Structure 1
Amino acid sequence: MKKSFLIIGLALAMFSCNKEGAATASGNKTAYVDTSKLIEENQEAKDIESKYKTKSQEMGRELEGEAKQFQSDAANFQRDAQVKGMAWAQQKGAELQKREQQINMKQQAMLQTLQQESGKEMDSLVKRIKDYIKDYGKKNNYEYIYGTGDAATILYGKEGLDITEKISKELNDKYKSSDKKEDKTEEKK
């Protein structure tokens, strides 16, 4: 009995939503953008990702040298501990532990710095994309532009209403043209 009421209630809710949606859709120009795809295909986002991947590799090489030296010293410590006695082993062991902690702290600090820097750049990019979509909507007389993707606000969208490709192309073209302007400015210097 309870299931029947629940099913009838859901059917009525869906029916009333469909009526409202049809009236709204016919009166307003709407579209949606797949935000995940937009970021995935965005050249500036790819450049930011590549930049921080390279930075991470450079920083990793720096730490790698320290880590290899530490491993070598630790191996020597184990060999020398038996020869040089317990007092030496305790003192050297404490020094090695301290070095290991310093290396770990340095690695964490580097990772945190990279995450903060890349996060700031990506947040800035997302804000510019949102502003662009807002301007695009105004310029093209849209009443609403919805977003889909990771934080989906739409469960269904008619194919013809998807403007992701248009926005993606325009954003990439805008980024490429501003990139060329920066190159010309650098050449003049």
Structure 2
Amino acid sequence: MKKSLVVLGLAFALFSCNNSSAPAASGFKTAYVDTQKLMEKSDEIKDLDDKRKVKTEEMGRELDSEVQQLKLDYASAQSEANSKGPQWAQLKAQELQKREQQLGAKQEAMGRQLQEEFGVKRDTLVSQIKKTIKEYGKKKGYDYIYGTGDAASILYAKDSYDVTKDILKELNDKFKGSATKEEPAKDTASEEKK
């Protein structure tokens, strides 16, 4: 009977200790942001997407006129092939294929240019949005702001909850420790080769 009371007392004491930390944890002020909705409804992102669309259409019109000219040249070459002979037709076909490849390369280059130009701008906007969320969280006194939607992550947390430095130190220490162990083995192996 005494043993069961002692065990029950210890269990109660442990439970009380665990509960004393629970109210502090539940006192966090949190919120969430639907990042997908934020990206869809941001005026600045909409404006950037509109500019990208306009530039894509301009580049597309330029390419379309060259594609149409190439099609006309193909049709013309087919009609002239009978009268000018097979050797001329073969040379003309090679020339047209080369132009077609050049158009394909030009189209790919335009796509890369658009991606580079607007990808960087979009990344900058995303960074600005994250910064705004962080500033909002600080101003409103939030401990955490979580992200939902496509990119679910913590978008803001108080610096005191950041353990990145501690984990990075452990990882770096482990790496240095394994690198130190490997170095003597490498030296031994290189000496054996000599």
Give the TM-score range, shorter chain: 0.5 to 0.7
State the match for 2:124 in structure 1: 124
Cα RMSD, aligned residues only = 1.7
Instruction: After TM superposition, give the deviation of residue 52 of structure 1 in Å.
Output: 0.4
1:12-45 Cα deviation digits (max 9, x unpaired): xxxxxxx9xx856631110000000001000000
Structure 1 counterpart of 2:62, which letter?
E
Determine if the alignment matches structure 1 residue 144 to structure 2 residue 147.
Answer: no
Instruction: After TM superposition, give the deviation of residue 83 of structure 1 in Å.
Output: 1.3
**Distance in 2, Cα, partners of 1:70 & 1:106:** 14
Matches for 1:1-189 after TM superposition, within 5 Å = 23=23, 26-153=26-153
Structure 1 counterpart of 2:125, which letter?
L
Question: Which SS does the other structure have where 2:32 is aligned?
Answer: strand
**Distance in 2, Cα, partners of 1:150 & 1:104:** 33
**Distance in 2, Cα, partners of 1:107 & 1:79:** 28
**Distance in 2, Cα, partners of 1:29 & 1:77:** 74
Larger Rg computed on CA atoms? 2
Instruction: After TM superposition, give the deviation of residue 91 of structure 1 in Å.
Output: 0.8
- Tell me which stretches of 4 or more aligned residues in structure 1 moved more than 6 Å: none
**Distance in 1, Cα, partners of 2:127 & 2:116:** 16
**Distance in 2, Cα, partners of 1:89 & 1:23:** 85
1:69-120 Cα deviation digits (max 9, x unpaired): 0000001111111111011011111100000001111011001100111110
**Distance in 2, Cα, partners of 1:24 & 1:122:** 39
Relative to structure 1, the CA distance from residue 98 to residue 115 in structure 2 (aligned partners, 3 Å threshold; closer, same or farther) is: same
The structure, 1 or 2, with the larger RCO (C-alpha pairs under 8 Å, 6+ apart) is 1
Relative to structure 1, the CA distance from residue 25 to residue 100 in structure 2 (aligned partners, 3 Å threshold; closer, same or farther) is: same
**Distance in 1, Cα, partners of 2:87 & 2:142:** 78
Percent identical across equivalent pairs?
A: 57
Relative to structure 1, the CA distance from residue 117 to residue 23 in structure 2 (aligned partners, 3 Å threshold; closer, same or farther) is: farther
Question: Which SS does the other structure have where 2:58 is aligned?
Answer: helix
**Distance in 1, Cα, partners of 2:132 & 2:96:** 54
Question: Which SS does the other structure have where 2:152 is aligned?
Answer: coil
**Distance in 1, Cα, partners of 2:36 & 2:63:** 34
Structure 2: unaligned runs, 5 residues or longer: 1-18, 155-194
Name the TM-score, length of structure 2 as normaliser: 0.66
**Distance in 1, Cα, partners of 2:50 & 2:25:** 41
